[in-house]
Structure 1
Amino acid sequence: MTFRFDDTVVRGVLGHMNADHTGDNLLIARAYGAADDYTAAVMTGFDGDGGDWLATRGDGTTDVVRVPWPGGPIEERPHVRREIVALYDEACARLGVPPRPHS
């Protein structure tokens, strides 16, 4: 059964990702999504199995991009950051973009 995080945790992560990591959201959508013309993406949710992004194409249409966590299912809040960082790093590798250092 898929683990569901508390609403407060989900709101906090989504708020942070969509305010501070808009470029990362777009890189993840471009690397894992179905299209290569995404112009924007927002993280819309996540659970213990993976994250969800809504990616906007150049023509204004949108795709839901569901990406499983690279390390497998998770159930703890600190693991969410670890898995999103891993997705970002893999997205950079797939797209040939140098990743920025993580603090």
Structure 2
Amino acid sequence: MEDEIKKLLQECTGFQWDAGNKDKNWLKHQVANSECEQIFFNKPFLVYHDTRHSDAEHRFYALGQTDLGRKLFVVFTIRNKQIRIISARDMSKKEREIYRKML
């Protein structure tokens, strides 16, 4: 499944930021939009299908790091070949341990 998701991501042409999601992560978790985008280009990048929250549309979650090494947990969907960030926050302790094992 992870390979299918990575193929979908390779077909994406950019990110979708609009009034519904452009300020939300900064206000809730002090995560800038540019930081959300950076994790998709840095290694390691772990991405999984979020089957529990994929009722109306396919949702995914990712563990990754920003250019400055900030470790983020990001929930996103893909709409019209664009990545739409739903939520972004710092990784929890458990998520950091999972991520660290991939280094």
Q: Do the structures match in fold with TM over 0.5?
A: no
TM-score, structure 1 normalization: 0.36
TM-score, structure 2 normalization: 0.36
Q: Which has the higher strand share?
A: 2
Q: Which has the higher helix share?
A: 1
Give the number of the structure with larger relative contact order, counting CA–CA contacts within 8 Å between residues 6 or more apart: 2
